[in-house]
Amino acid sequence: MASTEADYLHIVTADNISAARIRFGKTIIWASAALLCVVGLVQYLDTQGVVSLGFETWRPTLYAFLIWASCLCWGQVLLYGERGKRSLFVLPAALFVVAMVVFPLIFALGIAFSNWNLSSPTGRQFNGLDNVRQMWADPFYWNALKNMVWYTLAIVVEYAIAFGLALALNAQIRARKFFRVAFLLPLMLSPVAVSWMIGKSMLEIRFGPVAHLVRELGFDQISFFGSPEMARFMIMAMDAWTFIPFMMIMILAGLQAIPKELHEAAEVDGASGWRRFWEITFPLMLPVSITAILIRIIFKLKLADIIINITAGGPGGATDSVTSFIFREYRDRSNVGYGTLLAIVYLVLIVIAMTILMKLADRWMRPRY
Amino acid sequence: MTQQIFRDSDADRAFRPSWFLGRAAIYAVLLVWAFICLFPIYWTLTTSFKAAPDVMQGNLVPWVDFEPKMLGLRSLGLSPETIFAESTVRAEFLKRFWNSVIVALCSSALALVLGSMAAYGLSRFNYRFSFMKNADISFFFLSQLILPPVVLALPFLVLYKELALLDTRIGLILLYTLTVMPIVIWIMRDQFSSIPTELEEAALVDGLSIWGAFVTIILPIALPGMVAAFILSLVLTWNEYFFAALLTSTNANTLPVMVASQTGSQGISWWSMAALSSAAILPLILVAILLEKYIIKGMAAGAVK
């Protein structure tokens, strides 16, 4: 984003790489790759019962992978000299991510089309599209997806509150540091602790302070997690409580980057505060706002901890997010295959939705200037 | 010539009620929200010193409404009377706490090392891994943010079982590193691209290698950004619950899992829950108060261009 072509370092170095060094580099890369293949193959045969060498775990393959990864990095330097040293910056991170994401994802695709109960002795059974059919007929999964839409829509309200708070913090006030720290604190707290602190104790119907307050205000016999709408709202509110600081800080940073002259010029021209906000602040804040909202959506789609700990999806699945639903699906039936399929469908939906959103955001941001 | 030439006009010097009203409104908003933010924390901290009747009556202010008692700390074996005695609860608690500390620190450090290197490389050199150029590689790293943890959770459960990494700290550390690395890369790439390349050019002319220049010259300059990235990672990994709940059972449990496992039981002892929650939130509250500047800097990194 920030770095343009002109920012790159251009280094020309004369590397004298001998033929022997190149040969050695190639040898260690290919030898370690061969080692990895052989170990993997032997282990696979061992699990299939073709040979029996008594491996208890797949650790040897993991170690072979680590050896191959280090040899690949070292080999880059041997083969390409200075250029290899440069690729050494990115290579470890790339190998790590590939090993931790791409490989498990491929593995997940395999699991997703099988019936695999981890506690049953039969092990994994390929069952084709059965999981898909089961998902299609599973009202709770669709309900969880629908809930996610509601939870995501709540971001609009969070954004409005965060913007208001950022404006207030950006005004000429005293004790700004105190307010900033106080506002930041909810973000630092563990969602599990929050769900106990607020969800289980402050909203406790008999003696929780919030229940007291609500009763003082004249509502009686309310239950915070009784009706589906109320429960969903409480979850939204708690999640908002933890994440509003995040949006607020991003917006505040944006506000502080707006040059003062613009406001002064508008004031001289006689614009009222209201018009100054809509004609200057808001349009200028649009890129920051969109970034903040997009990141917030990404975090919102992972929402689970609070739901798992407070309502466990209840009443009747009204508060389930996809993540908490799959979590319970696994906890209750320990069916890895079905849960994985649901997760992968979710991932596909997210990727599609985020791509559309980012394209739209791009279009919205452009013509303003 | 005693008359002042430049002075405020009468309109400016007059009492302006609307201005004061605006001030008052701003402070009111700020105070209300500060109260909303702080009250749950206050409630948790005080509840750990309340006996059952005090909880039931909803007493709020210590020494005025109720007499603080060391119940919460005693339930963790940390009160003055029990601190020198043997205590299985305390051993259990300290083990979980220590797990959390190790996992959070190690994974943040690992993510910081791998992430900074990648971010530096991407901000300085032109790469080409087959069809992928710099922008594609950056996108590849950052797109990991979108990946919801639930997609990886079950495959990892199976893989870790095969690798005997289930219920180990190393398994958690690796997974947490993965989840925070995109954030580190995002913050650090921003940080590095704001440092002029002339610095390295000078260093290279003086005979340093590129890695020498990176370690001795660039990293010290980028230190504030690194602190910011480290703290943000620390916050996320310390609070992580989902993976920890799935992948650990007895040995490598972290503090959030311990807190969550207590909530289900019917007769909740409020003071011990409150003490546990306090232990889970206090370290980060301290971090927030002491290093607030860096956290804000880190989060603002992506916002302003």
Residue A242: closest CA among A281, A194, A305, A207: A194
- Do A107 and B239 count as a contact with CB atoms less than 8 A apart? no
DSSP B145: G
Residues of chain B with CATH 1.10.3720.10: 88-300
pLDDT in tens, A89-123: 888 999 999 888 888 888 888 888 887 777 776 77
Find the closest chain A residue to B296 by CA distance: A249
With beta carbons under 8 A apart, name residues in chain B contacting A93. Answer: 114-115, 117-118, 141, 181, 185
Q: How far is CA A181 from CA A175, A194, A326, B188, B205, in A?
A: 10, 18, 36, 24, 45
- Identify all chain A residues contacting B204, using CB atoms and an 8 Å cutoff: 11
Chain A contact for B181 (CB, 8 A cutoff): yes
Q: Do A8 and B153 touch (CB under 8 A)?
A: no
Query: Largest Cα–Cα distance of chain B, in whole Å?
Result: 93
Give yes or no for residue B123 having a pLDDT over 60: yes
Mutate to test the interface with A, among B39, B151, B176, B297 (most CBs of A within 10 A): B151
Of B98, B128, B51, B84, the residue nearest B254 (C-alpha): B98
A367 has a pLDDT exceeding 80: no
Residue contact B146–A351, C-beta within 8 A: yes
B239:A208 CB<8 A: no
Give yes or no for residue B73 having a pLDDT over 80. no
Q: Is the pLDDT confidence value at A6 over 60?
A: no
Nearest to B38 among A82, A182, A212 (CB): A182
> In chain B, positions 81-140, which contact chain A (CB-CB < 8 Å)?
114-115, 117-118, 120-127, 129, 134, 137, 140
State chain B's mean pLDDT as an integer: 83
Residues of chain A found within 8 Å of residue B206, distances taken between Cβ atoms: none
pLDDT tens, B218-270? Answer: 999 888 889 989 998 998 999 888 888 888 888 888 888 888 887 555 556 77
What tokens were used for A298? 């990404």
Q: What confidence tens digit (pLDDT) does each residue in A204-216 have?
A: 777 777 877 877 7
Using a CB cutoff of 8 Å and minimum separation of 24, what contacts does A157-162 make?
A157/A240, A158/A240, A158/A243, A158/A244, A158/A247, A158/A296, A159/A247, A159/A289, A159/A292, A159/A293, A159/A296, A161/A240, A161/A244, A162/A244, A162/A245, A162/A247, A162/A248, A162/A251, A162/A292
In terms of C-beta density within 10 A (0-12 exposed, 13-18 middle, 19 or more buried), how is residue B292 classed? middle
Inter-chain contacts counted by CB atoms under 8 A, chains A and B: 313
Q: What is the mean pLDDT of residues B151-177?
A: 88
Superfamily of domain A139-365: MetI-like (1.10.3720.10)
Round to whole Å and give the CA distance between A170 and A255.
7
Average pLDDT over residues A217-231: 77
pLDDT band for position A159 (50/70/90)? Answer: very high
CA dihedral A256, A262, A264, A267 (to 10 degrees): -120
Q: Integer distance in angstroms from the first to the last C-alpha of chain A?
A: 18
Q: Where are the beta strands (DSSP E) in A51-156?
A: 114-116, 124-126
Give the mean pLDDT of B11-18. Answer: 73
Share of chain B above pLDDT 90, in %: 17
Please give the structure tokens belonging to residue A28.
Answer: 């260690």
Instruction: Kindly report the pTM of this predicted structure.
Output: 0.87
Tell me if A184 and B204 make a contact (CB, 8 A cut-off).
Answer: no
Tell me what pLDDT residue B268 has.
64
On the question of pLDDT at B101 being above 90, the answer is yes
Q: What CATH homologous superfamily does B88-300 map to?
A: MetI-like (1.10.3720.10)
Who has greater pLDDT, B37 or B9? Answer: B37
What's the pLDDT tens digit per position in B21-36?
Answer: 888 888 999 999 999 8
pLDDT tens-digit profile of B269-301?
777 888 888 888 899 899 888 888 888 887 777
> Would the CB atoms of A90 and B118 count as touching at under 8 Å?
yes
Domain boundaries in chain A? 10-112, 139-365
Which residue has better confidence, A231 or A54? A231
Give the closest-approach CA distance of A319 to chain B in angstroms: 17
> 3-state class of A191 per DSSP?
helix
A168 to B29: CB separation less than 8 angstroms, yes or no: yes
The number of beta carbons lying within 10 Å of the beta carbon of residue B211 is 13
Q: What is the pLDDT of residue A5?
A: 46
What is the pLDDT at residue A4? 43
Task: State the Cα–Cα distance between residues B135 and B115, nearest whole angstrom.
Answer: 16
ipTM (interface predicted TM): 0.86
Interface contact A185-B37, CB threshold 8 A: yes
Q: From CA B120, how far away is CA A92, in angstroms rounded?
A: 13
Torsion of CA A71, A76, A77, A78, to 10 degrees: 80
Nearest to A196 among B140, B277, B284 (CB): B277
Tokens read off for B166: 């289930």
Structure tokens belonging to residue A354: 């985020």
